[in-house]
Chain A
């Protein structure tokens, strides 16, 4: 019983420490991650914009998977509508 109590106390303490470590930087880390994701979107959709992409054979199958984020992405990149003639977004 005692060991159990100590264990749960430790788990609790380490969870709080994790919060303490992460809380102030959560936003900055998320922003950095989003920047990387945006670049990745560009890779996946680059052929559609006429930018040759040697990996398009592999990224082609990712297109439908990433389509959900497509709207958010083109807005963030400063384009009000989809930049592609082939398919419209909004």
Chain B
């Protein structure tokens, strides 16, 4: 099958979902009201609560939720063939992610723009709120460990990207200063910044850089992971305007440029999909497609992380309630389109089936490296860019996404430790530096504990990360469903995804638990067990909360 057809089918399907299904959900289920006075107007303070243009709001909702995760997930999951991954991304976006994201904005908007965590406490119960914090902590922990592993793999596989990747940080630092001190206006800075970044990317292939194989007895992979966490720890302690804000901004621009280039190149070259539609010949050790597909692709089909963004910052800036449809649902479509581009890159970006099979020789292979090499081939054919340059470009894009997520993730983890410090009255834990050290320490334990001393096995926890992320989405869906029940509205739109997610995650956790038991991997076994307890707990809380809500409505 030709990739152009797949692209048109996917984008067309998601567009139809937006035009029809989201209209139905927005008007008949959430009943978005253009005259509702949103918190952005009610509590307008020029800081947190600011009514914002819906396109701008969509822009940063989309760029905050899209990162490396919607790339890594599909790039691992195509091992079962491209049809299952494609269907789950498209249908997941239409019926799960869009409904979840728009619903999270709506729920928060109707509750004085409070976060989903706080809403869980109100709508579902106090116990669930503590549970929510634990699940968030686990998600952050895993995302930091996985992304560090993914980045270090990229830096080793594509040495030409080392200089542009680290150079981009300096570009961001300079942009931060220039804007903070108002030396230039943003338009000029953006153009200069993008030129500087692409100049670095262009220069990358002529100055490849790699670490020696071992540095003081530590492998290069492990060294990169240590360097990355050292960097992220410092970055997460800096004031946000200095590095995080300009980096996020460049990433946003990069995301649009990258998607445009990739889809443009697919249209121009029209590559054939070489991977099988259904892989009947999966390598030994590949787990069963049901339920693992549904946790391997989390972001891109549905992701709990979106609920945090939607209820944290987006809902405080919603100008009109009806904007929730465009911002939330279309934001999910944006992320779905990134996953679709990934699926095309990792299935059509190889010359022959044998090449593809060589990459996907066992479960957990492929990932972001396959995205870079596959995508680079498509860029080379479509836009006749040099292959090494294309690889550098895509590597920089992926690393910047993952890196920014690490900065933010560590910062959030630090806040959680500081909050725990306040709850348990531990003075030292409330300070920024020790809390950061604790966060970095726990991530390092996970990154190395999961894969041995060279840290190469960090990706082994990818499905576990997906599972935890789905649990978070389940909690958000639960809040929305309980609200719908209390309003006496049909609840199947969110209840069906909720039940589906809970069944699949618990099923997947049990299968992985057996896997870790068989390989005697006790570290991951305990982590899996922890998530499993949380999952079962959420399922019980969900049943209880829904029954309570239905009884209170019936009385």
B230 within 8 A of A: no
Q: What's the least CB distance linking B179 to chain A, in Å? A: 7
CA distance A16 to B60 in the complex (A): 12
Q: What's the least CB distance linking A54 to chain B, in Å? A: 27
Interface size of B as a range: 20 to 34
Contacts of B179 in A (CB 8 A): 21
CA distance A69 to B244 in the complex (A): 30
B245 within 8 A of A: yes
Given A17-B187, A32-B239: A24 and B60 interface contact (C-beta under 8 Å): yes
Evaluate contact between B245 and A21: CB separation under 8 angstroms. yes
> Which residues 167-211 in B have Cβ within 8 Å of A in the complex?
179, 185-187, 190
Checking A18, A23, A26, A32 against B186 with a beta-carbon cut-off of 8 angstroms, the contacting residue is A18
CA distance A24 to B53 in the complex (A): 13
Q: What's the least CB distance linking B253 to chain A, in Å? A: 10
B290 within 8 A of A: no
Q: In this complex, what residue of B is CB-closest to A14? A: B187
CA distance A32 to B55 in the complex (A): 28
CA distance A44 to B73 in the complex (A): 55
Evaluate contact between A17 and B50: CB separation under 8 angstroms. no
Contacts of A10 in B (CB 8 A): 187
A87 within 8 A of B: no
B269 within 8 A of A: no
Given A28-B240, A29-B240: A23 and B187 interface contact (C-beta under 8 Å): no
A27 within 8 A of B: yes
The interface residues of chain B, by DSSP majority, are classed as helix
Contacts of B56 in A (CB 8 A): 16, 19-20, 23
Q: What's the least CB distance linking B362 to chain A, in Å? A: 39
Total A-B pairs, Cβ < 8 A: 59
Write out, one digit per residue, whether chain A residues 1-32 have a CB within 8 A of any chain B CB (1) or not (0). 00000000010011011111101111111101
Given A20-B252, A21-B179: A27 and B48 interface contact (C-beta under 8 Å): yes
B249 within 8 A of A: yes
Evaluate contact between B240 and A25: CB separation under 8 angstroms. yes
Given A16-B55, A16-B56, A29-B241: A24 and B185 interface contact (C-beta under 8 Å): no
Evaluate contact between A26 and B249: CB separation under 8 angstroms. no
Evaluate contact between B248 and A24: CB separation under 8 angstroms. yes
Contacts of B190 in A (CB 8 A): 17
Contacts of B53 in A (CB 8 A): 16, 19
Contacts of A20 in B (CB 8 A): 56, 59-60, 249, 252
Evaluate contact between B186 and A24: CB separation under 8 angstroms. no
Checking B47, B52, B59, B60 against A30 with a beta-carbon cut-off of 8 angstroms, the contacting residue is B47
Residue of A16, A24, A29 with most chain B CB atoms under a 10 A cut-off: A24
* Chain B positions near chain A (C-beta within 8 angstroms): 46-48, 50, 52-53, 55-57, 59-60, 64, 179, 185-187, 190, 239-241, 244-245, 248-249, 252, 313, 317
Between A and B, 17 residue pairs with Cβ closer than 8 Å are A14-B185, A14-B186, A14-B187, A17-B186, A17-B190, A19-B53, A19-B56, A21-B179, A21-B245, A23-B52, A23-B57, A23-B317, A24-B248, A25-B240, A26-B50, A27-B313, A29-B239
